[in-house]
Amino acid sequence: MTRAPGSGRARKISGVTLIIAGTMLVLIQQLLVASGTDPASVWVGFCAALGPFLTLGGLFLFWRGSQYAAKADAKRIATDSNPHVLYLRVFRSDPSTARYVFWSSLRLGSELATEEEQLKDVMRPLGELVAIGRPGERLPEPGAARIYVPDEVWKEEVSRQMQAARLVVIRANLGANLLWEQKQAVETLSPQKVLILVLEMKAKHYESFRTEVNPVLGLSLPEGATLGHFNGVSGFIGFGADWKPCVFPLPDLDFSRSLFKPYRQTFKLALRPVFDSFGLEWQPPPDVFWSNMIIWCFVILLTNYALFRWLMKFGAQYPWQGIIAIISSGLFSAYGLFLIIKGIYRKRKPRGDS
């Protein structure tokens, strides 16, 4: 099958290649220093300078390729007649290129898929995820297929998409346009078709959202404490036949979360009741617990090995730096071991309780 031009695949492959090369150079730099190579040497400086540069360039290319892929997918989805899931959100929740590259670089390029892309993957059995695109944008954020409409008719288009959608997912946030969309959903749709996604909101921001939404919609959304905390107040809110809210919290999976798509498992586990309500077969997410465990143990061992070699070579020359490094490595290792023990305990607990 011939790849459609502009699909972004070449950019994504090039991006992943550069990310891997940059990460390898950073590791080589650490191994050179740990093996006793002078930190001021040309090779150490070369790896230290080029590694991050390649990683940042790779992240940019991967993001741009994902945008072109999303644009190509939107054209395909717009022409099919399959059911879809409408995703409503404020435009400011869409990450910019700079924001994506910055946060992905801090996570060492592990979380390459956006939250929206992972939501799209989970929602696919219900239908393709579609959303109204930001006016004037040249390329969309990877994730939902964008529909672009003039400002003067966006309300009519949203209403039409609501009626045609199999499910409407509203990402909780503050905004006049989003509030109007939520009001339309409650007034014109059946409760089963409406789902609110609360994702990593500060408690005070979620309380502000509840305060704004409750009187307008005539509902009483659950308090933040009932949703649970997954890097902030997080969870799905569904509705019963009488518009009574029901909470689907995002489980804290620790090591059972994918390094590359950490939200996919939590979304899928939380949404099992929604799949059941639509009569769809629910498949559990893949178990990545032990592979993550091996990676984390390797990182701890590599860090401590590098520190040991550095202390053997330069400890007497830089005593205070050595003390700081030992304390930092000890805290990092202790935290890692705590997560490992906690993860194993949670992994074994369900079987022990059954």
pLDDT confidence of residue 349: 63
SS3 35: coil
pLDDT confidence of residue 113: 86
- Predicted confidence (pLDDT) per residue in 155-176, tens digit: 999 999 999 999 999 999 999 9
User: What is the average pLDDT across 269-288?
Assistant: 90
Average pLDDT, the chain: 85
CB 133 within 8 A of CB 140: yes
User: What is the average pLDDT across 272-284?
Assistant: 92
The residue written with tokens 């890692």 in the block is 336
Using CA atoms, how far apart are residues 43 and 25, in angstroms rounded to an integer? 10
Over pLDDT 70: what percentage of the chain?
A: 92
pLDDT confidence of residue 102: 82
List b or e across 157-166, with b for residues whose CB sees 16 or more CB atoms inside 10 angstroms. Answer: ebeebbeebb
CB 55 within 8 A of CB 18: yes
pLDDT confidence of residue 46: 87
SS3 203: helix
pLDDT confidence of residue 230: 67
How does residue 254 score in pLDDT terms, banded at 50, 70 and 90?
low
CA angle 89–223–243, rounded 5-degree value:
70
User: What is the average pLDDT across 192-211?
Assistant: 93
| Tokens read off for 115 | 């939250």
Q: Is the pLDDT of residue 107 over 80?
A: no
User: What is the average pLDDT across 56-84?
Assistant: 88
Q: Is the pLDDT of residue 301 over 70?
A: yes
